[in-house]
Homo-oligomer: A and B are copies of this chain.
Amino acid sequence: MVGKLTWLYQLSKAGKLCVPAMNVNDSVTKQKFDNLYCCRESILDGLKRTTDVMFGGKQVVVCGYGEVGKGCCAALKALGAIVYITEIDPICALQACMDGFRVVKLNEVIRQVDVVITCTGNKNVVTREHLDRMKNSCIVCNMGHSNTEIDVTSLRTPELTWERVRSQVDHVIWPDGKRVVLLAEGRLLNLSCSTVPTFVLSITATTQALALIELYNAPEGRYKQDVYLLPKKMDEYVASLHLPSFDAHLTELTDDQAKYLGLNKNGPFKPNYYRY
């Protein structure tokens, strides 16, 4: 869960939220498109534009196997990288296993990997101790939700030399000559060094606009000073607006089928807890 959202829920819990809020970040389309599908492409793009690294045969550790981590891993694996995962959550860890990734502690692989990518939303996931043990020309970058995942501050010490080799690319140089390639000074790679496809922007903007319209139009009392998830029907509506650009043709339920399933023919089609 992202930083700003955590605060919103904490405000709500503390009774300090003074207006209704809509958590659009956790709508299905936002999660899957802005995180999973977009990061699947932007991790490759961000790494290529900054480092020209070849993915084939590279050993990569990805910290965090949420939607962002899943996207990064799928892309890197598909292009021939060998990917390791670190996780705190046993469910996500088990998913990583079933998807063909070894789940390790960062210390187990830090000496051997060519690339380290953080996608946790957490802080100090990559510490100075880890950075000290990386091999020469290891690339370090962050795809998560803040600039705290890599402890960049710990690298601002006198014995290390920083060399800016290109926009968004720093070499941090150890006294023995070892270089670590730090991207975007630990800020988000996907925002700093890649682009966001217009298609993803369209989905996000549509979702946000619909949420605002809903909050504005809702009859008094529907929403209190709390944080709400986007009504599923709107999520489905956002998706349906974007199907024509793929020339995708939806199937309609017959009356008989809708009755059998206990569904309205126009949706929503899934219970709220459905995971997609």
Q: Is the CB of B91 within 8 A of A257?
A: no
Q: CB < 8 Å: which of B121, B249, B276 contacts A103?
A: B249
| Contact across chains for A97 and B31 when beta carbons are under 8 A apart | no
A156 to B139, CA, bound (A): 45
Q: Tell me if A54 is interfacial: C-beta within 8 Å of chain B.
A: yes
Q: Determine if A122 and B257 form an interchain contact, defined as CB atoms under 8 angstroms apart.
A: yes
Find chain B residues with CB under 8 A from A257 CB.
122-124
| CB-contacts of A82-120 with B (<8 A) | 82, 86-106, 108, 112
Q: Does A252 contact B (CB under 8 A)?
A: yes
* Contact across chains for B261 and A57 when beta carbons are under 8 A apart: no
* A221 → B minimal CB distance (Å): 23
- Contacting pair B100 A239 (CB below 8 A): no
Q: Which of B49, B93, B101, B112 contacts A82 (CB 8 A)?
A: B101
Asked if residues A262 and B89 are in contact (CB atoms below 8 Å), the reply is no
- CB pair B229–A273 under 8 Å, yes or no, is yes
A158 in contact (CB, < 8 A): no
A20 interface residue per 8 A CB criterion: no
Find residues 118-144 in chain A having any chain B CB closer than 8 Å to their own CB. Answer: 121-124
How many Å lie between the Cα of A238 and that of B121 in the bound state?
Answer: 24
Q: Which residues of B contact A273 (CB under 8 A)?
A: 26, 229, 272-273
A79 at the interface (CB under 8 A from B): yes
Q: How far is the CA of A239 from the CA of B104 in the complex (A)?
A: 16
Which of A37-45, A170-178, A181-189 lies on the face that meets chain B?
Answer: A37-45
Say yes or no: A54-B41 contact (C-beta < 8 A), given A48-B48, A90-B250: yes
A200 contacts B by Cβ under 8 Å = yes
Residues of A within 8 A of B (CB): 1, 6, 9-10, 26, 28-29, 31-33, 37-38, 40-41, 44-45, 48-49, 52-57, 59, 67, 74-75, 77-82, 86-106, 108, 112, 121-124, 194-195, 197-200, 229, 235-237, 239-240, 242-243, 245-254, 256-257, 260-262, 267, 269-276
